[in-house]
Amino acid sequence: MKKNRHIVIQSISFFTIAMLYLPLFGVAVFSVNSAKYGWVWKEFTLKWYTSLFSNEYILAAAWNTLVLAVVSTLISTLIGTLFAIGISRFPWGRKTDSFLDILLNFPVVIPDIVMAGSLVVVFALLRSVSDLFEAGLVTMIIGHITFQIAFVALVVRSRLVSIGTDIEEAARDLFASNWYLMRRIMLPLLLPGIVAGAMLAFTLSLDDFVISFFTSGPDSQTLPLYIYSAVRRGVTPQIHALSTLVVFITVILVVAAERISRKN
């Protein structure tokens, strides 16, 4: 009887894994098929991949995606790390603590479409003050930072909790200054948490569609936005190739991130 149960669990698991991978696999197979349409296999080709690099829209979208992810990750990692230290290393009262807690968890649980909608409205209001808020890369970066900060701070905070305060107190007893404490004690101890938080922020940025879709301008297409609008014009092998490439990059990032976090 026990064996039967194992078979049931195993077959459901394989079914689920197939459901997760069959579509991605299908797209990958047809991205190296030279037939342009339909359920036919002609011959192996990489021409759809090479054609990506001569498509200036795709190159621009890839560049935008990268700039958006890198800039938003850098800023949100800095702000989020300081925020986490501020929350957990100072004697705030109970009320301030619970306020900060809500502030931190709000971006995690608010539906992204609601956040995106409210950002659209605020950027429209701010546009009357400054041209900076014209829909484009800047507004997208602001949007991404807004949801990234909380995730970075949550990761760094859990690291702060796990390292405890003993070493800091010891440093203080030995007359370490504020600056020395930050640079030589907190930073090295927190580094794994900061790196983990930054990696999370980076992947969240690459993964985002809704915030980008709402806050983007005509010249700030990213790869997910490009794919989304391309699907409505019709499915082409070029889009298969682009999607497969993005999945491939995701796989590399995930494996690298897991390796790094397991080492720590």
Task: Map the footprint of another protein across residues 103-162, applying CB under 8 A.
Answer: 103, 105-122, 125, 142-143, 145-146, 149-151, 153-155, 158
**List 32, 58, 69, 87, residue binding another protein (CB under 8 A):** 87
Q: How far apart are CA 10 and CA 22, in angstroms?
A: 17
Q: Count CA atoms within 13 Å of residue 227 on its CB side.
A: 18
Distance between CA atoms of residues 78 and 152, nearest Å: 9
Total residues in contact with another protein, by rule CB under 8 A: 96
Neighbours of 172 (CB within 10 A): 14
Give yes or no for residue 172 binding another protein (CB under 8 A): yes
- Minimum CB–partner distance for residue 40 and another protein (Å): 8
| Contacting residue, 47, 132, 162, 169, with another protein by CB under 8 A | 169
Three-state secondary structure string covering 127-178: HCCCHHHCCCHHHHHHHHHHHHHHHHHHHHHHHHHHHCCHHHHHHHHCCCCH
Considering only residues 47-66, where is the footprint of another protein by CB under 8 A?
none
Stretch of 43-51, 53-61, 87-95, 188-196 contacting another protein, by CB under 8 A = 87-95
Q: Is the dihedral of CA 68, 71, 75, 77 positive or negative?
A: positive
Q: How far is the CB of 13 from another protein (least distance, A)?
A: 4
- Residue placing its CB nearer to another protein in the complex, 53 or 200: 200
Pattern of binders to another protein over 29-48, x per CB under 8 A? -x------xxx---------
